[in-house]
Chain A
Amino acid sequence: MIADAVVVQRGGRRVLDGVTLEVRPGEVLALVGPNGAGKSTLLAVLSGELRPDSGSVTLDGRPLADFAPRELARRRAMLTQDNALSFPFRVREVLEMGRSPWIRTPQQEDDGRVLAEAAARADVEHLLDRRFTELSGGERARVSLARVLAQDAGIVLLDEPTAALDLRHQEEVLTVARHLASAGRAVVVVLHDLSLAGAVADRVGLLDGGRLVALGSPREVLTASALSAVYDVDVEVLERDGTLLVVPVRGPSRA
Chain B
Amino acid sequence: MRRPVVWLAIAVVLVAGVLVSALAGQLPVTPAEVGGSLLRAAGIPNPWAPSDAVVESTLWVVRFPRIAMAVTVGAALAAAGAVMQAVFGNPLAEPGVVGVSSGAALGAAAAIVLGLAAFGDGLVAALAFCGGLLATLLVYLVSRANGRTEVVTLLLTGIAVNAFAGAGLAFLLFSASSANREQIVFWQLGSLGGSLWREVLVVAVVAVPGVVVAALLGRRYDVLALGERNARHLGVDVERLRIVSVVLVALLTGVAVAFVGIIAFVGLVVPHLVRMLQGPAHRPLIVASAVGGAALMVWADLLARTLVAGAELPIGLLTSLVGGPFFFFLLWRQRRRAGGWA
Question: Closest approach, in angstroms, between the C-beta of A142 and any C-beta of chain B?
Answer: 15
| Across the A-B interface, the 8 shortest Cβ-Cβ residue pairs | A73-B235, A86-B89, A70-B235, A87-B280, A86-B225, A101-B235, A78-B233, A84-B342
CA distance A87 to B285 in the complex (A): 12
Once the chains bind, are A72 and B235 in contact (CB under 8 Å)?
yes
Once the chains bind, are A85 and B281 in contact (CB under 8 Å)?
no
Contact residues of B: prevailing secondary structure: loop
- Residues of chain A touching chain B, judged by Cβ–Cβ distance below 8 Å, are 47, 49, 69-74, 77-78, 80, 82, 84-90, 93-94, 97-98, 100-101, 103, 133, 147, 151
Once the chains bind, are A87 and B91 in contact (CB under 8 Å)?
yes
**Closest Cβ neighbor of B285 among chain A residues:** A87
Once the chains bind, are B342 and A89 in contact (CB under 8 Å)?
no
> Which residues of the other chain, A, contact B219 by a CB distance below 8 angstroms?
100, 103
A-B contact count, CB below 8 Å? 79
- Residues of chain B touching chain A, judged by Cβ–Cβ distance below 8 Å, are 89-91, 148, 219-220, 222-227, 229-230, 232-237, 275, 279-281, 339-342
Contact of B227 among A82, A89, A93 (CB under 8 A): A82
Once the chains bind, are A98 and B234 in contact (CB under 8 Å)?
yes
Once the chains bind, are A89 and B235 in contact (CB under 8 Å)?
no
Once the chains bind, are A88 and B234 in contact (CB under 8 Å)?
no
Known: A74-B235, A89-B279, A90-B279. A82 touches B229 (CB 8 A): yes
> Which residues of the other chain, A, contact B236 by a CB distance below 8 angstroms?
69, 100
CA distance A101 to B235 in the complex (A): 6
Contact of A73 among B220, B233, B281, B341 (CB under 8 A): B233
**Closest Cβ neighbor of A153 among chain B residues:** B233
Known: A87-B91, A87-B225, A88-B280. A77 touches B233 (CB 8 A): yes
> Which residues of the other chain, A, contact B235 by a CB distance below 8 angstroms?
69-74, 100-101
Once the chains bind, are A80 and B233 in contact (CB under 8 Å)?
yes
Known: A84-B342, A87-B225, A88-B340. A100 touches B233 (CB 8 A): no
> Which residues of the other chain, B, contact A69 by a CB distance below 8 angstroms?
232, 235-237
> Which residues of the other chain, B, contact A147 by a CB distance below 8 angstroms?
226
Known: A73-B233, A82-B230, A100-B223. A93 touches B281 (CB 8 A): yes
Once the chains bind, are B222 and A80 in contact (CB under 8 Å)?
no
Question: Closest approach, in angstroms, between the C-beta of A50 and any C-beta of chain B?
Answer: 10
Once the chains bind, are A101 and B229 in contact (CB under 8 Å)?
no
CA distance A193 to B42 in the complex (A): 75
Once the chains bind, are A73 and B280 in contact (CB under 8 Å)?
no
> Which residues of the other chain, B, contact A88 by a CB distance below 8 angstroms?
279-280, 340
Known: A85-B225, A85-B342, A86-B89. A97 touches B280 (CB 8 A): no
Question: Closest approach, in angstroms, between the C-beta of B277 and any C-beta of chain A?
Answer: 13
Question: Closest approach, in angstroms, between the C-beta of B176 and any C-beta of chain A?
Answer: 42
Question: Closest approach, in angstroms, between the C-beta of B228 and any C-beta of chain A?
Answer: 9
**Closest Cβ neighbor of A89 among chain B residues:** B280
> Which residues of the other chain, B, contact A78 by a CB distance below 8 angstroms?
233
Q: Which of B220, B235, B275 has the most CB of A within 10 A?
A: B235
Question: Closest approach, in angstroms, between the C-beta of B325 and any C-beta of chain A?
Answer: 22
**Closest Cβ neighbor of A98 among chain B residues:** B234
CA distance A88 to B230 in the complex (A): 17
Question: Closest approach, in angstroms, between the C-beta of B245 and any C-beta of chain A?
Answer: 14
**Closest Cβ neighbor of B220 among chain A residues:** A100
Contact of B148 among A70, A73, A84, A89 (CB under 8 A): A84
Question: Closest approach, in angstroms, between the C-beta of A3 and any C-beta of chain B?
Answer: 17
24 contacts between A and B (CB under 8 A): A49-B233, A69-B232, A73-B234, A80-B229, A82-B229, A85-B227, A86-B89, A86-B225, A87-B89, A87-B91, A88-B279, A88-B340, A89-B222, A89-B225, A90-B279, A93-B222, A97-B222, A97-B223, A98-B234, A100-B219, A100-B236, A101-B235, A103-B219, A151-B234
> Which residues of the other chain, B, contact A71 by a CB distance below 8 angstroms?
235
CA distance A90 to B275 in the complex (A): 12
Question: Closest approach, in angstroms, between the C-beta of A248 and any C-beta of chain B?
Answer: 33
CA distance A93 to B223 in the complex (A): 10
